[in-house]
Amino acid sequence: MLNRRWWDVAAIAVASILVLFTLFDPPPYGPDDWGVWATTGAFLVFYFAYARARLGADRLAPHLVISIAFAVLVGVGASFEPSFAIIQVFVYPFIWTTAPSIRSALVSNALIGSALAVGYIVHFGPSGIVAGVASAALSVGFSIALGLWITNIAVYGQERGRLLEELQATQGQLAAMHRDAGVVEERARLAREIHDTIAQSLTGLVMVAQRTGTRLGGVDGEAAASARADVELMEQMAREALTEARGLVASLAPVESGAGLGDALARLAANFERETDVVVTVSASATGLSREHEVVLLRSAQEGLANVRKHADARHAAVTVESVGGEVVLTVSDDGVGPGAAMPGASGFGLAGIRDRTALVGGSFAIEPGAGGGTVLRVGIPRADAALPPTAGRVAPDAGGRVSRPTSEETS
């Protein structure tokens, strides 16, 4: 309905028909013919100069201007030649298309119908009252019936479009949930495999090493002493490998976020304390995050605590989530040895996963020494109710370990 080319063709076609009707009569042409031609020209000028550009505007002021102008043109044209009423096949649909509401369309229809009746009366005199009123009533009634029918169809189509968009959005959410469920299931499977195979084998190796050391305890001699040292070294290496395996199992174990980010972080902290004896405090009061962003923060907290386990040698750690401006900031801090000169993503800190996750959602992260010692890891994610930044691409840390969002030149 808003394709201007079709309206252009319709306007020119109607104007051509009006001119052809007057040319059917042989010359000489009188004032009425010249009046029809002048009115038709005025109609084309008004349409191309003003009305055409207001298609789809749906504003009351332009609609009133168009309605009044068309009413004047219809009344003047019909006063010269009653057959000028054929212009209604263009005027009424155009009025319905530009009307901001049904009420304004009905008023405009009545205005144009009244103008048509006046035109008949001017042309025929008092004898044209009946014909004018009947013609106007018939055209207005038909226009209203057809306009309301088409309007209902348009409303129905818009509703179907809205429902389709909601359906597509729901399908996208379901696909994301299925994908997340698949990732969680795979992580759980891998954790079980490591626990049931590598961890069990290492546990058995520790036990065998202990038993062998006990048996060698009663044997004297240099060879026996050397063997005992080797067995002790084997036991120590097996214990360290077992600790690493248990840490890997803990980091891979799925932590469901369905009950909320705060509950998920609390369960993560409880599991971490049980595995490492490191006391972890959790404070998560921020809101305004989508489920996808909650998962990003949850996985970032897991990775941060995994680094505390591997490198910090800490006794206490803290995980906080708070709103700061338009972001929700996750902070993982500890009282350990600190990051030293390590950079995000460098060997031993394994923060590449956090960097990639935050970059995909337009976030940022930084890692730096704590004010009182230890390490502080910060991850910022835009709030769901805040304006998102430009699409983020790959990012690189600066000298302090901070990651900034790329500029348009960097992403091009």
Whole-model pTM over 0.85: no
DSSP 403: B
pLDDT value at position 1? 52
- List Cβ neighbours of 101 (8 Å cut-off, separation of 6 or more): none
pLDDT value at position 46? 94
pLDDT value at position 407? 36
Cβ-contact 363, 324 below 8 angstroms: no
Angle between helices 60-80 and 102-124 (to 10 degrees): 20
Side chain identity at 62, as an amino acid letter? P
Task: Put the strands of the sheet holding 364-369 in their side by side order.
Answer: 279-284, 316-324, 327-334, 375-382, 364-369
Cβ-contact 288, 384 below 8 angstroms: yes
* Residue 377: Cβ within 10 Å count: 28
pLDDT value at position 174? 87
- List Cβ neighbours of 362 (8 Å cut-off, separation of 6 or more): 382, 388, 389, 390, 391, 392, 405
Angle between helices 31-46 and 60-80 (to 10 degrees): 170
The Cα 41–Cα 47 span in angstroms is 10
Name which of 331, 316, 163, 313 is nearest 243 in CA terms. 313
Residue with tokens 């090493």: 209
Please calculate the CA angle 158-87-91 and round it to the nearest 5 degrees. 30
Residue with tokens 């891998």: 190
Tens digit of each residue's pLDDT, the chain (412 residues): 567 888 999 999 999 998 888 887 777 778 888 999 999 999 999 999 999 888 877 788 989 999 999 999 999 999 998 888 899 999 999 988 888 888 999 999 999 999 999 999 998 888 888 888 998 899 899 889 988 888 888 788 889 989 999 999 888 888 888 887 787 778 778 877 777 777 778 788 888 888 888 877 777 777 778 887 888 888 888 877 777 776 666 666 655 545 578 888 888 888 888 877 889 999 888 776 777 788 788 888 888 888 887 776 788 999 999 888 888 899 999 988 876 555 554 444 457 778 877 888 888 888 888 877 888 889 998 876 654 444 333 333 443 344 443 333 333 3
